[in-house]
Structure 1
């Protein structure tokens, strides 16, 4: 006999477990993991939908109580079952419950009432209608006369019910009279909510003429696709090289084959321009998914995709799980972005998950970036990914001229403003020419690191090569190993008293700019100004239509936007990301600065960028100013190898959280001892337990253990053993443990 482990109704947390059912003999040859089935559930044996997550020949429950599967939902095997199988892979690789993984890949569970448009249609001949109208005109039923006249008029015998109600005064009794006498019929059409902002205003765009480098890139990618086992393709193109045009050409090829494409973008802010370009090229076969949509809008987009009415879905990480039945291509634009990594369990990475889904469905994957992640470029170097390059801007436009401003010198000259004298001068010239500027503040709000404003020295951990973070009580703490020291009153290098964190935010920068340039029209784009639905689109549309001269913002303004009139970009504080308490801080800084600089000079006018920093000689800033990725990669890779950080080794974090600090400390201590017992080899490097980057949130204490090893599968095996250990030990019941592969 065959038994199936089935999860029931993933919309309820209390059902976060599987139930065993008997597979009827007639279904044994058909049943597979991932299938959707109908099962009797509960005391009333109501038939419910379930998901098969395991098959076994061993009975786990009382045989007298086991129930049988009713049927298999064959119509959902090709799409939903593959997503369920993907959830199973995510559970195993990222450490979560199956129900958490299912909720991630099947996000729309609650059916939303469809929108409808009702039509009143004349069901008798025109001659019969005119005869009836003559008879009605002899009566006092004015509403009946108006409706029949409208149907016999220029409406072609059909009129929208809402229009008849508002303009003709049609009532229920009028419709009842006509329908009972079979004069008209009332029909309903389902209307899907359009998630594309101002779709009706987007003009149709003819395909762009590809440059010779773009044509070569397309040919190289298509050649890779013809191989028996095509690899993911890393498209490394400098800012402004026209990667999106390459994407659209490849999507066109996929659509011609009757297949669909998913385009992932890292920020909601990017949807405005990206979707307009794709919608202009492919029309209403394009839609978008993001967190700002209503539940009804999201439901409609997934339903349209499942029914084959869409061919291209654009959106952030969650769009990866669009239920396309014949998926042919997944594009991850700006693949280096950290937003592709989930912060909730399962802590999956869209890059690896996309590659696995593509492998399951016979699709291809393209990873695009001007500043590829270290992991992606490393894999391209080993041959795991195919590497295709675009080394020049579209139409051979020059890269912007970049200047580095040493803010230490500004302080010596008595300028304590957030804007350097050079940036003020450049802004004045830009405004005088009627051109546009963007001012990028590297991180919103207050930075946790502590540095000297006179010499630029940053307080770092002596053991982990990351900056120390400032905590209450003037303590500086390392979030990797727990090292702690007191915050100094003076710089240990130059004895300057100007020591502390950078406290200026976007609002303060806006005030400075408006005071310095009162005639300038200034827009601000950050978390506070983009909370409302449609706010991203409104701000970006206003700036693109030149209704503002200066756009001030955080990271969301420097990723992928294309404004041809922007000739100046100012980076207010490069050091905020450079000195974050993260081993990737150098990489993040290089990527952000390169992307920011790349927003300038994308039209026919030459661009200029200024980078303000207290660390002008740092390799991340120097290489970003030259847009030299290869030089940065070689320098950064040396540090990664030295410290056993990815991609030279794999790294897993064991994250613990509890309301009881003492219980949490004990639990993490025992996990560390168990890890040491599991693998005592020198190749495994274990750090911690240590405080998490934010050690306490809403009265929940948090700790972390880091494990580093060159073998990824070894870390997965350790994760599996830790999960078993946690499951059988009651001491972990008050502790939430999650796993994260970094």
Structure 2
């Protein structure tokens, strides 16, 4: 008799452990299978993942008490390497087995999603030459036969092509045509014009050779904006293909996938998988199956593409490595570059991190020799780095200019439009305004479910960007009846409104979360602007990430210091990165470019150093602060957030948890427990939020002990727990 160790498909924290089941002799069960088992006193039918197979029971386990597996629901969802990855994720990011396992399988697998079938026509038995309609039927058979190369046609499609429905039905009846179930492919088959590899310049070629000839491990490609980092890793992908290995190219935003898809498919053909959160469950299932069946060797996508079941993955490219979207916001709250490094360590592969503004953690590791550092200091084409002009908006106010656009930026926009060039305007806040308030009594429209103000959008709609709550602004203040109720701050919608008014003949596009809600929106906006059908692109940080438009000669950064004043130890780093990245969108063609950087704090070092594109200077200055405060990468953080609908009960419980954590940490040196305190956003979707921050040199064992302590302390209580090792922000 064989036995299997299972993880039950349940989100209950108490079930996050192995359960032993017997494998009946008439069943073939292996690691990675999804099985159905009887569970609990009522023998409920639950699903379980097979994590191990053994031949014997432990001496203290009676064989008659071990229940049998009932049936296999799916086979080979993960392999032994998947088990090692699950264990790594659990220990590094304090998640459950199930949280980690769900990264490895297509989401639809657990809800019954499978292949989609369609009933296509296929040629049947030969048509007798003397049949009265042999010629007409032969034409139909030829059409059906030719269609098979493109996936076949159903009966209705043949009718739309001009063939008689009655003729088709008669042919089916007599066996000249047959109806067959075929899997319908739910993935893009768009073709692009072939584009050969570009010749690498001296710096690019040196970087390529360093990676190809170097040892397995992680490589940080630090190159200025426009230095041709993408071309280097496309050459690396080509090299891997020739060696018979698989590659994954990760991008931080879905907005970047249309551009990357076009470049990769035009280079390597259309048999490439595209994998991200905007795909339906069915589309994700089909892409996952294509990879498992070995039909594709290259994947492009967001961070989830890292976990596709490639057989021989040896190259992972993390483009725009510094982006915070590479840190998952749901459990497991993993860091993509570190998971990729673990995976490539298991297979002897290589990770390439590419960025003009690497994260502090990545560049620090490169400086210490943990990563191989590759520097690209020149732009790949003829274009030079853009000229950056800083505008002090305090002076603009003193001169009476209360517009969103400084006089310098407005004048440069006039010149750029007159030359027939394109413009990008960046503001990292969507909507019409930051909030709406009454100047008479101080009333502010707030979300009833979250501790945030509502953001005004066009049409007077006020929306919460956390829970989606919406209402309409009234003409008079709901509190005091005053008419002095006004909007404060600006958002991308307000910018669009003013730009259209100031430049009525210009074609204007806006790219933010509101304009890209449907699946194809990113690609539509990208293609429109790339093809020159629009003059001005207004956007949030979506426009800052790697987009390559050769027609852009002017970039306006409308509020460079918007992110600098957030209560977040990474605020300066994010500000420097955003300014540098957005600035890099200008001057990518043969002509030069100009960046107008509007700020109320022109003397702040993230602003001055970004204006000079001085990454090393910024890194050194910021590292002094991190060192003094023991913040990452010079120390570790563990954020423990408890949330619940009853605020008093929540506070009582988190105070108890904090007391236990202080007792635990007292056994370790250089560890500080801070809090508890309300989160920056103290209520989201009706749940009050309190947090404890632990700071110091935190070992994996200590973090696991904290996890066990917290869950044990709140067991049986209506309280949610979130654990985040080295969080990207503290909100």
Q: TM tier, shorter chain?
A: 0.7 to 0.9
Native 8 Å contact 2:217 2:345 kept in 1: no
- Residue in 2 that maps onto 1:689: 676
- Residue in 2 that maps onto 1:737: 721
Could you list the per-position Cα deviations for residues 630-689 of structure 1 after superposition, in whole angstroms to 9, with x for gaps in the alignment?
Answer: 000000000101111100111111111111212211222122212221122551122211
- Residue in 2 that maps onto 1:457: none
Native 8 Å contact 2:328 2:335 kept in 1: yes
Mapped to 2, the partners of 1:212 and 1:392 lie a distance apart of 10
Q: 1:39 to 1:658 in 2, by over 3 A?
A: closer
Q: Return the offset for 1:355.
A: 1.3
Mapped to 2, the partners of 1:733 and 1:62 lie a distance apart of 34
Q: Return the offset for 1:366.
A: 0.7
Q: After the TM superposition, which residues 580-591 of structure 1 pair with which residues of structure 2 at under 5 Å, given as runs?
A: 580-591=566-577
Mapped to 1, the partners of 2:18 and 2:25 lie a distance apart of 20
Where 2:123 maps in the other structure, the secondary structure is strand
- Residue in 1 that maps onto 2:420: 434
- TM-score norm. by structure 2 comes to 0.84
Q: After the TM superposition, which residues 345-356 of structure 1 pair with which residues of structure 2 at under 5 Å, given as runs?
A: 345-356=331-342
* Residues 1:316 and 2:302 aligned together: yes
Deviates more, 1:49-58 or 1:291-300: 49-58
Unaligned runs of 5+ in 1: 138-144, 449-469, 473-499
Deviates more, 1:270-279 or 1:58-67: 58-67
2:188 to 192, 195, 199: 195
* Residues 1:147 and 2:140 aligned together: no
Mapped to 2, the partners of 1:276 and 1:517 lie a distance apart of 32
- Residue in 2 that maps onto 1:479: none
- Residue in 1 that maps onto 2:540: 554
- Residue in 1 that maps onto 2:287: 301
- Residue in 1 that maps onto 2:208: 218
Mapped to 2, the partners of 1:694 and 1:300 lie a distance apart of 39
Where 1:232 maps in the other structure, the secondary structure is strand
Q: 1:152 to 1:4 in 2, by over 3 A?
A: closer
Where 2:306 maps in the other structure, the secondary structure is helix
Mapped to 2, the partners of 1:115 and 1:369 lie a distance apart of 42
- Residue in 1 that maps onto 2:51: 52
Mapped to 1, the partners of 2:147 and 2:218 lie a distance apart of 55
Q: Return the offset for 1:538.
A: 0.7
Deviates more, 1:693-702 or 1:352-361: 352-361
Q: 1:18 to 1:678 in 2, by over 3 A?
A: closer
Q: 1:90 to 1:275 in 2, by over 3 A?
A: same
Unaligned runs of 5+ in 2: 436-450, 454-485, 727-731
Q: 1:234 to 1:121 in 2, by over 3 A?
A: same
* Residues 1:375 and 2:361 aligned together: yes
Deviates more, 1:388-397 or 1:268-277: 388-397
Mapped to 1, the partners of 2:419 and 2:506 lie a distance apart of 12
- Residue in 2 that maps onto 1:483: none
Mapped to 2, the partners of 1:510 and 1:319 lie a distance apart of 34
Mapped to 2, the partners of 1:571 and 1:123 lie a distance apart of 69
Q: Return the offset for 1:102.
A: 1.7
Could you list the per-position Cα deviations for residues 44-84 of structure 1 after superposition, in whole angstroms to 9, with x for gaps in the alignment?
Answer: 8989663317989648977533124589999728x444334
Mapped to 2, the partners of 1:575 and 1:153 lie a distance apart of 63
- Residue in 2 that maps onto 1:540: 526
Q: Return the offset for 1:91.
A: 1.9
Q: 1:590 to 1:729 in 2, by over 3 A?
A: closer
- Residue in 2 that maps onto 1:102: 101
1:623 to 609, 623, 629: 609
Q: 1:173 to 1:155 in 2, by over 3 A?
A: closer
Where 2:65 maps in the other structure, the secondary structure is coil
Mapped to 1, the partners of 2:311 and 2:434 lie a distance apart of 45
Native 8 Å contact 1:96 1:738 kept in 2: no
Q: 1:569 to 1:725 in 2, by over 3 A?
A: same
The root-mean-square deviation of aligned C-alpha atoms, in Å, is 3.3
Q: After the TM superposition, which residues 642-721 of structure 1 pair with which residues of structure 2 at under 5 Å, given as runs?
A: 642-680=628-666, 681=668, 683-710=670-697, 712-713=698-699, 716-721=700-705
Mapped to 2, the partners of 1:157 and 1:24 lie a distance apart of 46
- Residue in 1 that maps onto 2:481: none
Native 8 Å contact 1:51 1:84 kept in 2: no
- Residue in 2 that maps onto 1:458: none
1:123 to 125, 134, 139: 125
Mapped to 1, the partners of 2:610 and 2:562 lie a distance apart of 15
Q: Return the offset for 1:92.
A: 2.0
Native 8 Å contact 1:21 1:69 kept in 2: no
Could you list the per-position Cα deviations for residues 270-324 of structure 1 after superposition, in whole angstroms to 9, with x for gaps in the alignment?
Answer: 1111111011111122121122222221111111111111111111111111111
Q: After the TM superposition, which residues 178-577 of structure 1 pair with which residues of structure 2 at under 5 Å, given as runs?
A: 178-179=174-175, 183-195=176-188, 199-200=190-191, 202-224=192-214, 227=215, 230-395=216-381, 397-445=383-431, 503-577=489-563
Q: 1:61 to 1:610 in 2, by over 3 A?
A: farther
- Residue in 2 that maps onto 1:112: 114
Mapped to 2, the partners of 1:248 and 1:6 lie a distance apart of 41
Deviates more, 1:395-404 or 1:427-436: 395-404
Q: Return the offset for 1:157.
A: 11
Q: After the TM superposition, which residues 58-73 of structure 1 pair with which residues of structure 2 at under 5 Å, given as runs?
A: 58=58, 63-68=63-68
- Residue in 2 that maps onto 1:467: none
Q: Return the offset for 1:726.
A: 3.5
Q: 1:730 to 1:397 in 2, by over 3 A?
A: closer
1:36 to 33, 42, 49: 33
Q: Return the offset for 1:618.
A: 0.7
Q: Return the offset for 1:510.
A: 1.0
Q: 1:252 to 1:511 in 2, by over 3 A?
A: same
Q: Return the offset for 1:13.
A: 7.1
